[in-house]
């Protein structure tokens, strides 16, 4: 092992190379981390300036207003989502509290009490502007825009980042449900935070 006296180390060519590499690495990380700033959130933000995407789901617009992986939130995550007429969430469940606040439009909430081995035929609830939907923990559900204008909802969930189990239909066994983690809008951030740990 080579021991450098502190004084000479800082002025040595090796130190220069190491600090050069460190500067390069931190630039690289800054570039990689740009879409996922784990630095908390500004006090006031303009929603119109936040990035939105459909994450490959036709008719969806998703904005993570405040996220665990995106912004380092610990207890809650908030999404603003807009569903075009006819579009819907997958049938899914998760073990967190979830409240929807319907800001605009109308639609249908399909909710199945979790039966022993599969969700089963869901109950249909009409949802409308200024309504709230409370999703019981772990019950399979789906929200669909069954109206004629955009359905816009604010979604508040606890214990993020959530693990989501998706179903092809209401009679698919719970054991066959697919775990989707990280969820679509968190995929990029989780990959980046794993890279950072290497």
Ligand X SMILES: *[C@@H]1O[C@H](CO)[C@@H](O)[C@H](O)[C@H]1NC(C)=O
Window of 23-31, 44-52, 132-140, 143-151 that interacts with ligand X by CB under 6 A: 44-52
* Residue 93: strand, helix, or coil: strand
Q: Is 141 annotated as a binding residue?
A: yes
- Using CB under 6 A as the binding criterion, the count of chain residues that bind ligand X stands at 5
Alpha helices (H) along 68-176:
68-71
99 binds ligand X (CB under 6 A): no
Using the rule CB under 6 A, which residue among 48, 58, 116, 194 binds ligand X?
A: 48
DSSP 102: E
Q: Is 174 annotated as a binding residue?
A: no
Distance from chain centroid for Cα 42:
19
75 binds ligand X (CB under 6 A): no
Over the window 131 to 160, marking each residue x when it contacts ligand X by CB under 6 A and - when it does not, the resulting string is: ------------------------------
For tokens 């500067």, what's the residue? Answer: 23
Cα 113 from Cα 7, distance rounded (Å): 69
- Distances 9 to 24, 25, 43, 78 between C-alpha atoms, Å: 20, 20, 43, 49
Window of 42-50, 60-68, 70-78, 131-139 that interacts with ligand X by CB under 6 A: 42-50
49 binds ligand X (CB under 6 A): yes
46 binds ligand X (CB under 6 A): yes
Pick from 184, 188, 177: which is nearest to 94 by CA? 177
Q: Is 192 annotated as a binding residue?
A: no
The helix (run of H) or strand (run of E) holding residue 50 is none
129 binds ligand X (CB under 6 A): yes
Q: How far is the CB of 45 from ligand X (least distance, A)?
A: 9
Are 67 and 73 in contact by the 8 Å Cβ rule? The answer is: yes
Query: What is the binding site for ligand X (CB under 6 A)?
Result: 46, 48-49, 129-130
* Known binding residues for Zn(2+): 92, 94, 98, 141
């Amino acid at each position: 092992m080579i021991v450098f006296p502190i004084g000479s180390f800082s002025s040595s060519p090796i130190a220069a190379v190491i600090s050069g590499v460190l500067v390069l690495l931190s630039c690289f990380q800054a570039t990689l981390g740009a879409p996922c700033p784990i630095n908390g959130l500004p006090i006031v933000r303009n929603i119109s300036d936040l990035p939105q995407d459909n994450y490959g789901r036709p008719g969806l617009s998703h904005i993570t207003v405040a996220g665990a992986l995106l912004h380092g939130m610990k207890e809650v995550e908030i999404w603003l989502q807009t569903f075009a007429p006819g579009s819907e969430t997958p049938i899914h469940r998760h073990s967190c509290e979830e409240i929807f606040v319907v800001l605009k439009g109308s639609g249908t909430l399909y909710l199945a009490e979790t039966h022993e081995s599969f969700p089963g035929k869901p109950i249909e609830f009409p949802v409308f502007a200024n309504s709230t939907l409370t999703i019981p923990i772990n019950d399979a559900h789906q929200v669909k825009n069954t109206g004629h204008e955009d359905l816009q909802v604010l979604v508040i969930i606890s214990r993020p980042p959530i693990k989501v189990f998706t179903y092809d239909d209401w009679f698919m066994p719970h054991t066959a449900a697919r775990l989707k983690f990280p969820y679509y809008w968190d995929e990029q951030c989780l990959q980046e935070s794993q890279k950072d740990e290497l």
